[in-house]
A and B are shown apart, each in its own frame.
Chain A
Amino acid sequence: MQNERIRPLKYLPAITTAAALMLIAAGLWAGEARDVWQKAVSICLSCIGIG
């Protein structure tokens, strides 16, 4: 009984890591890394409390 309860959780970290890598790949494919860079290389006025 306990093994049945435990088994699915055994793979959770691996599933989470795989899902994370797939999300990163999907983001890279969609060009999101470039969006992040574009936002990060200009002064964010709302972040610094100006606009």
Chain B
Amino acid sequence: MERLRRYSQYFFAIVANSYWMFPWKGPIYRGVIKHVCLPGLNCYSCPAAVTACPLGALQNFLATLRYNMSAGCFRPGFYVIGALALAGSFVGRMPCGWLCPFGLVQEMMLRLPLPKFRLWRGFRIGPYLFLGLFVIILPLAVSDAAGFGITWFCKFVCPAGTLEGGIPLLLMEQGLRRAAGLLFLHKLVLLVLILLLSAVISRPFCRAVCPLGAILGMFNRLSWFQLRFHKDRCLDCKACNTICPTDVSFFDGADDINSPACIRCMRCVAACPGGSVTIEFGPALEPATGESRTDEKNCTCHTQQG
């Protein structure tokens, strides 16, 4: 399973960045595939990117909403929200674990032979704060006289933009190198910090910052794809918690197995010696409480109700 996931991460990283003609045909892909929002953090200003970044596109809609409305046009980003909701409705936050190129980068950094630390659970609120403030409120609320706002998350936070777009484009274009100043330095420092943290903490950006993960995570309990924890088969060995890249702890009831923090890497499915974690593809059968989907009654109900 883990090998399959790794191949999937490489596959999507390559497919999402498959425009290798940029040194000859121009620094950015302009084809029809850029209408598509890939549910992963992959900057559309990367010279090789062939898909659009949903987070950048959403902020752009919100930042220009005031201007568009004054021009009699209401475009709040239904298309982007719908695309994310569609992915989320099927697999929840699975794209974070199986598709996101920046998730892959963090996992590669974690392979460095350095001491590893756990992230404090309180940081789980971070993605929601960044989503609310940097992606929604600030682009909507702060605008110039003409009504144009700023894409705050892209401009001041997003490390994928610096890694995939900023660094390659600055290496390629002398004009951009001349224009780079304090803002680029700030983003570069942030990128280096996140990469260094990724070497000692599992996926710190996904768990404490990423607004895209926050959006997709909201669908974990609503999606067709569901994980199920059979408490009766649990051996209390904690293998699931030890191996979990986002520290989801469902064996002791601290988290729901379909917690928004879960990136659905499915390492726990493979690691559990008792086979207590299984995969379902069907409607959720119980309310989104803090309890895991454990009892056999629910299993019976699922069968009865089809």
Q: Is the interface of B mostly helix, strand, loop or mixed?
A: helix
- 13 residue pairs of the A-B complex, CB under 8 angstroms, read A2-B297, A6-B285, A9-B284, A13-B223, A16-B85, A23-B85, A30-B78, A32-B75, A32-B77, A35-B60, A36-B80, A44-B56, A48-B162
Q: Is residue B248 contacting chain A, with contact meaning CB distance below 8 A?
A: no
B165 nearest CB neighbor, chain A only: A48
Query: Across the interface, which residues of B come within 8 angstroms of A33, CB to CB?
Result: 35, 79
Query: Across the interface, which residues of A come within 8 angstroms of B158, CB to CB?
Result: 47
CA distance A10 to B89 in the complex (A): 13
A interface footprint on B23-45 (CB within 8 Å = 1, 0 otherwise):
00001111010110100000111
Q: Give residues 10-44 of A contacting B (CB, 8 Å).
A: 10-14, 16-17, 19-28, 30-37, 39-44
Q: Which single member of B73, B82, B88, B297 contacts A24 (CB below 8 Å)?
A: B82
Q: Are B82 and A2 in contact (CB under 8 A)?
A: no
Q: Are B89 and A41 in contact (CB under 8 A)?
A: no
Chain A interface residues (CB < 8 Å from chain B): 2-3, 5-7, 9-14, 16-17, 19-28, 30-37, 39-44, 46-51
A14 nearest CB neighbor, chain B only: B283
**Known A12-B284, A23-B82, A35-B60: A49·B52 in contact at CB below 8 Å:** no
Q: Distance (Å) between the CB of B186 and the closest chain A CB?
A: 7
Q: Are A35 and B43 in contact (CB under 8 A)?
A: no
Chain B interface residues (CB < 8 Å from chain A): 27-30, 32, 34-35, 37, 43-45, 49, 51-53, 56-57, 60-61, 73-75, 77-83, 85-86, 88-90, 150-151, 154-155, 158, 161-162, 165-166, 169-170, 176, 179-181, 183-184, 186-188, 219, 222-224, 282-287, 297-298, 301, 305
CA distance A51 to B297 in the complex (A): 57
Q: Distance (Å) between the CB of A13 and the closest chain B CB?
A: 4
**Known A21-B86, A27-B79, A49-B180: A13·B283 in contact at CB below 8 Å:** yes
Q: Which single member of A2, A19, A34 contacts B301 (CB below 8 Å)?
A: A2
Query: Across the interface, which residues of B come within 8 angstroms of A6, CB to CB?
Result: 285-286, 298, 301, 305
